[in-house]
Amino acid sequence: MSDLYEPKPEHKFTFGLWTVGSIGKDQFGVPVREPLSPVDLVYLLADVGAYGVNFHDNDLVPFDATPAERDKIVSDFKKALASTGLKVPMATANLFNHPIFKDGAFTSNDPQVRKFALQKTMQAIDLGVDLGAEVFVFWGGREGVESDATKDPLLGLKRFREALNFLCEYVIDQHYNLKFALESKPNEPRGDIYLPTTGAMLGFIPTLDHPDMVGVNPEFAHEMMAGLNFLHAVAQAWEMGKLFHIDLNDQNSIRFDQDWRFGSFSIKQSFFLVKFLEDVGYTGSRHFDAHAFRTENYEGVKDFARGCMRTYLIFKEKAARFNQDPEIQALLKEINADDGAMNNFDGIYTAEKANMLKSYRFDVKALSERGMMYERLDQLTIDLLLGVR
């Protein structure tokens, strides 16, 4: 039984260098953990059983590293990957930390900053592809404003679009096998960030020159910060063929970005998310974009990382049980029962169907009085999740 909860490569569990490598700094406090090198972090992730490691350019190569330093760091990192077997499925660029990005990167009001961001991103793409990445994430943490007096939102969208169009052409020109995944967040660190939800990103993608190369990287906590249902955002992305990556973590409702261990707070929502990913056959990375509590040392960081994967696998097993549970399935069948009486109205529109439907007499009273049994179904779900079923 317990083996069911052991992470294996086929589960595609990945972590960012910045996640297990977080030193526990926050707005009010200094770091609580000594930094570990990227190589140490690869070994830590291998130790807990992860499949892969993702990074921002500067998690691996410091912003001001010389070319020689860069080469040494990359070569040491590659050795660690080779000896542990860890993969690099995703890479990204840090376009938010350095003061040059204080007004954003692609949407900065300064044309030089915008071009610097493109230069830095092309270099980050080269680095990611060199290490095997096939997905490149764009999280525009500073692409926004504190005050709309400072930036025209139409210009913000236009600049962001132009940058992505340029970078798609760059990828095509280099013959890279790389897709882009856009990650939204409503706020933090900016007062408001452009394209604040996954739905907004999905609406923006068709306006690009190469929409086929661009999908989304929805993050659990970010949709929660906007008070939204994460599963619904993921389902829409999936239906559109745009779920290129996913950031799993947790969050207590509408607050700052808490980045908690996956499944540690929102048990029911996380369960239905895992059930969805497993039911539809999502094959991408299950990436944990989360941080250990600031109270932890590196043993605690390992507990955190193991916990993310373990909880995912517990939910996966519970999802299989949900799908096989006779009482739950019978209820679902009954709830969705269809006696075929409406079949004549199905399918494409015809004037005849419309006329027939307009004159059909529904038993409104009976339909209104029908109990849906959702309380029973939901309680069965709770029983299952709480382990008494």
Active site residues: 56, 59
Residue (289 or 325) nearer to ligand GCO, CB: 289
Residue (151 or 185) nearer to ligand GCO, CB: 185
In order, the DSSP letters of 138-196 are EE-TTSEES-TTS--HHHHHHHHHHHHHHHHHHHHHTT---EEEEE--SSSSSSEESS-
Residue (139 or 204) nearer to ligand GCO, CB: 139
Q: Which does 92 bind (CB under 5 to 8 A by kind): Mn ion, ligand GCO, none?
A: ligand GCO
Shortest Cβ distance from residue 325 to Mn ion (Å)? 33
- The pair of three-digit structure tokens given for residue 85, joined into one six-digit string: 């077997």
Q: Which does 88 bind (CB under 5 to 8 A by kind): Mn ion, ligand GCO, none?
A: none
Report the distance separating Cα 318 and Cα 186, nearest Å: 32
Q: Which stretch binds Mn ion (CB under 5 A): 16-24, 56-64, 100-108, 289-297?
A: 289-297
Q: Which does 179 bind (CB under 5 to 8 A by kind): Mn ion, ligand GCO, none?
A: none
For Mn ion (CB under 5 A), the number of binding residues is 4
Q: Which of 289, 309, 314, 318 binds Mn ion (CB under 5 A)?
A: 289
Give the CA distances from residue 315 to residues 4, 185, 236, 244, 308, in Å, rounded to whole numbers and listed in that order. Answer: 11, 26, 21, 22, 11
- The pair of three-digit structure tokens given for residue 119, joined into one six-digit string: 């230069």
Residue 59 interacting with Mn ion (CB under 5 A): no
Contact predicate 377/330, CB 8 Å = no
Shortest Cβ distance from residue 17 to ligand GCO (Å)? 11
Q: Which does 143 bind (CB under 5 to 8 A by kind): Mn ion, ligand GCO, none?
A: none
Q: Which does 137 bind (CB under 5 to 8 A by kind): ligand GCO, Mn ion, none?
A: ligand GCO
Q: Which stretch binds Mn ion (CB under 5 A): 90-98, 166-174, 286-294, 343-351?
A: 286-294
Residue (17 or 328) nearer to ligand GCO, CB: 17
Residue 247 interacting with Mn ion (CB under 5 A): yes
Shortest Cβ distance from residue 27 to ligand GCO (Å)? 13
Residue (90 or 314) nearer to ligand GCO, CB: 90
Residue (114 or 185) nearer to ligand GCO, CB: 185
Amino acid letter for position 300? G
Give the CA distances from residue 236 to residues 186, 218, 239, 312, in Å, rounded to whole numbers and listed in that order. Answer: 18, 11, 5, 21
Residue 257 interacting with Mn ion (CB under 5 A): yes
Shortest Cβ distance from residue 220 to Mn ion (Å)? 9
Chain residue at closest Cβ approach to ligand GCO: 139
Report the distance separating Cα 126 and Cα 129, nearest Å: 5
Residue (257 or 325) nearer to ligand GCO, CB: 257
Helix (H, G, I), strand (E, B) or coil at 28: coil
Report the distance separating Cα 371 and Cα 376, nearest Å: 11
Shortest Cβ distance from residue 16 to Mn ion (Å)? 8
- The pair of three-digit structure tokens given for residue 158, joined into one six-digit string: 């236009």
Contact set with ligand GCO (CB under 6 A):
56, 92, 137, 139, 183, 185, 219, 247, 257, 289
Residue 219 interacting with Mn ion (CB under 5 A): yes
**Long-range pairs of 153-156 with CB within 8 A, sequence gap ≥ 24:** 153/194, 155/107, 156/104, 156/107, 156/194
How far the first Cα of the chain sits from its last, in Å, is 16
Q: How many CB atoms lie within 10 A of CB 207?
A: 12
Sign of CA dihedral 101, 106, 110, 115: positive
Residue 57 interacting with Mn ion (CB under 5 A): no
Q: Which stretch binds Mn ion (CB under 5 A): 93-101, 112-120, 211-219, 312-320?
A: 211-219
Residue 250 interacting with Mn ion (CB under 5 A): no
Residue 223 interacting with Mn ion (CB under 5 A): no
Q: Which residue has the tokens 């739950």?
A: 328
H-type alpha helices, the chain: 17-20, 38-48, 57-60, 67-84, 111-130, 153-173, 198-204, 220-225, 230-239, 267-280, 298-324, 326-335, 351-359, 364-369, 374-385
Residues that bind Mn ion (CB under 5 A): 219, 247, 257, 289
